[in-house]
Amino acid sequence: MRLRALLAAVFLLVTCVSCGSGQVSKDDPLPTRARDGDHLTIGVRFDVPGLSQRTLDGRLAGFDVDVATYIAHELGVDADRITWHETTPAHRETDLASGAVDLVVATYSITDKRKQQVSFAGPYFVTGQDLLVRLTSPDITGPESLNGRRLCSVPGTTSAQMVKDKFAQAVQLVEYPRYTDCVTALLANQVDAVTTDAVILAGYAAQNPELLRVAGRPFSTERYGVGLRKGDTEGQRAVDDAIRKMVSSGAWAKSLAANIGPSNYPLPKPPEITEQ
């Protein structure tokens, strides 16, 4: 009888511990996962200077990291309760759909095609597509200059194909896994230009100012949004509110100046947050 009572007590204790463990489902709205789990896994890039880059001491720093940290705080999750997950342009949608991450803050341009797979909050930043070239290539002034040349980008993006479709049908497209690989290839004369968003390219140019430059002729509009699980309207509203607060508090402008300012990229005004 005592053994049965002891087993019952142990079962009750284990059950109670499980009930209070903060386990949540990936199908719960983002605010629920943040509140009940007291933890968020956020997808960011690890290789974009000024936006989201791993430092030599292992930290992540940049404007996207600051935006993600601010959003998490507004959802009730402190910085030390964030797990940073490296995501890439080719894996952002699958990371969200699989539940590997709770949200994505990773130079993630809002497009109609992507809206078919994920939901977006924001935008929190607006930039435009441009070219990174060598200083020894003064004749490359814009995308029309790329016929017969090699243009580098990464899988999961449409920027290089857009150049080929709209500006230079004879351009040769080259892909590498990361933009850092493209920059290395550019410095080694293996490609003639790299294309992605101007604010990203400005960070790479700032690392090699004696060798590289941004063409300075943006030819698209890229609106960075926060990626969420498809259909999470409650999460969208909460993240939009957090971005608005970051802007109104001055934290948005302060982070932008600290992280993007050193690259000499022209700092824009905060974008208007729109319903996605």
* Ranges of each domain in the chain: 26-127+222-263, 129-214
Interval 171-198: pLDDT, tens: 999 999 999 999 999 999 999 999 999 9
Architecture per CATH, 26-127+222-263: 3-Layer(aba) Sandwich (3.40)
CATH topology of domain 129-214: D-Maltodextrin-Binding Protein; domain 2 (3.40.190)
Reported confidence tier of residue 245, pLDDT bands at 50, 70, 90 = very high
Q: List, in order, residues 6 or more apart from 78 with CB less than 8 Å away.
A: 72
Q: Express each pLDDT in 259-270 by its tens digit.
A: 999 998 999 999
Measured between alpha carbons, how far is 125 from 222 in angstroms, rounded to an integer? 8
CA distance to 19, 24, 150, 179, 201, per residue, from 154 (Å): 44, 34, 13, 6, 13
| DSSP per residue, 26-78 | TTS-HHHHHHHHS-EEEEE-SEETTTEEE-TTS-EESHHHHHHHHHHHHTT--
Q: Is 60 exceeded by the pLDDT of residue 108? A: yes
> How many C-beta atoms lie closer than 10 Å to residue 55's C-beta?
9
- Helices 251-259 and 63-74: crossing angle in degrees, nearest 10, is 160
For residue 229, pLDDT over 50 is answered with yes
Q: What is the pTM of this model?
A: 0.86
What is the pLDDT, as a whole number, of residue 15? 37
